[in-house]
Amino acid sequence: MSQKWWQQQLPKLVLSPSFALVLFFVYGFILYTGYLSFTDSRMFPSNELVGFANYEKLFALRHWKIAITNLGIFGGLYIGICLVLGLMLAIFLDQKIRGEGVLRPIYLYPMALSFIVTGTAWKWFLDPGIGVEQIVQSWGYTDFEFRWIKDRTMAIYCIVIAGVWQTSGFVMAMFLAGLRGIDGEIMKAARVDGASSVQLYRRIIIPMLRPIFLSAFVVLAHMAIKSYDLVIALTNGGPGRATELPATFMYSYTFTRNQMGVGATSAMVMLMTIAAIIVPYLYSELKGSKKS
């Protein structure tokens, strides 16, 4: 009898250390950061409660407004372009292309790289001194100018370019897997002839990929909000503060500007934004797996 009881308790016992770790290091830490966001912590954590003062302060900061606006521009374009490009490449690759086995890994390999590597490559490739501008000028177009990365209003688009380069192949792979999962008869009909196949894709096949759009959107949105390394490596938030994102804002306010309360507040805002996207998604995914 006690043997059986033991066998029933053992699994829970085995799981409990990881569960305890996650409870402490994830949920405990979230609570603690949440607590700090209501204190006047500066260089070190403080216990002086200040109500919502940090939240009011945060949303009044010009620096934060820049970060939020940039996240809107970056996130919108990054997600949008990755989805469109990923879908397009997947559909094209799915046309019985010769050499698909070569092309697919070429589209996808950037995903294996660190954002710091990606940032380094693009930083110098986009640099007016040695990169694209120089290259095109050396072809004889001496008036050619391309200095987005040094331009306050355009630098954020450089982050978009590098981000899309890194992730769009992954989105392509997701869509391709989706396309390959669609019933062969429908696909065969789609390939029959040119004009009508565009219609077939638009009316039938793309709508069937809805779950992939959702998954890809969730992954991309979550990556956009967390984006930190890419900005650090590519522009370090500059020129000026032109490419500051919430993640870089949080880091600099907490660790270099000694405004830990405001930093914690910005982290809470980031968490809540991600949670608003992820929680409903995970909930529906888990409910879905219950049925099957």
Partner 1 sequence: MMRASLPGSAMRSALYLILLVFSIFYLVPLYVMLVNSFKELDEIRSGAMLALPDNFTLAPWESAWSTAQIGVSPTGLKPYFINSIAMVIPAVLISTLIGAINGYVLSKWQFRGHRWVFGLLLFSCFIPFQIVLIPMAKTLGILGIAGSTPGLVLVHVVYGIGFSTLFFRNYYEAFPTELIRAAQLDGAGFFMIFARILLPSSGPIIVVCIIWQFTNIWNDFLFGASFTDFDSQPITVALNNLVSSSTGVKEYNVHFAGAILAALPTLIVYIVSGRYFVRGLMAGSVKG
Residues 41-70 that bind partner 1 (CB under 8 A): 45
Question: What's the rounded Cα separation, in Å, for the pair 58 and 270?
Answer: 12
Based on the shown chain and the rule CB under 8 A, indicate whether residue 114 belongs to the binding site for partner 1: yes
Residue 173 CB, nearest approach to partner 1 (Å): 6
Based on the shown chain and the rule CB under 8 A, indicate whether residue 20 belongs to the binding site for partner 1: no
Closer to partner 1 by Cβ: residue 66 or 94: 94
Query: Do residues 107 and 174 lie in contact, with contact meaning Cβ atoms separated by under 8 Å?
Result: no
Query: Can you tell me which of 254, 259, 262, 265 binds partner 1, judged by CB under 8 A?
Result: 254
Q: Per residue, what are the HEC states of 231-290?
A: HHHHCCCCCCCCCCCHHHHHHHHHHHCCCHHHHHHHHHHHHHHHHHHHHHHHHHHHHHHH
Based on the shown chain and the rule CB under 8 A, indicate whether residue 128 belongs to the binding site for partner 1: no
Closer to partner 1 by Cβ: residue 51 or 194: 194
Based on the shown chain and the rule CB under 8 A, indicate whether residue 149 belongs to the binding site for partner 1: no
Based on the shown chain and the rule CB under 8 A, indicate whether residue 252 belongs to the binding site for partner 1: no
Residue 265 CB, nearest approach to partner 1 (Å): 11
Q: What is the CA radius of gyration of the chain?
A: 24
**Torsion from C-alpha of 143, 146, 147, 148, nearest 10 degrees:** 150
CB under 8 A: which stretch of 26-34, 58-66, 147-155, 182-190 binds partner 1?
26-34
The site that binds partner 1 (CB under 8 A) totals a number of residues, namely 104
| Token output for 225 | 């909000």
Question: Which amino acid is present at 97?
Answer: I
Based on the shown chain and the rule CB under 8 A, indicate whether residue 121 belongs to the binding site for partner 1: yes
Scan residues 201-230 and list those touching partner 1 (CB under 8 A).
211-212, 215-216, 218-219, 222, 225-226, 228-229
Query: Do residues 243 and 156 lie in contact, with contact meaning Cβ atoms separated by under 8 Å?
Result: yes
Based on the shown chain and the rule CB under 8 A, indicate whether residue 84 belongs to the binding site for partner 1: no
Sign of the Cα pseudo-torsion (9, 15, 21, 23, in order)? negative
Query: Can you tell me which of 120, 144, 201, 241 binds partner 1, judged by CB under 8 A?
Result: 120
Based on the shown chain and the rule CB under 8 A, indicate whether residue 187 belongs to the binding site for partner 1: no
Based on the shown chain and the rule CB under 8 A, indicate whether residue 32 belongs to the binding site for partner 1: yes
Based on the shown chain and the rule CB under 8 A, indicate whether residue 130 belongs to the binding site for partner 1: yes
CB under 8 A: which stretch of 27-35, 55-63, 73-81, 149-157 binds partner 1?
27-35
Question: What's the rounded Cα separation, in Å, for the pair 161 and 21?
Answer: 38
Residue 124 CB, nearest approach to partner 1 (Å): 5
- In DSSP terms, which residues pair with 49 in a beta bridge? 39
Based on the shown chain and the rule CB under 8 A, indicate whether residue 22 belongs to the binding site for partner 1: yes
b/e per residue 255-266 (b: at least 16 CB within 10 A): eeeebbbbbbbb
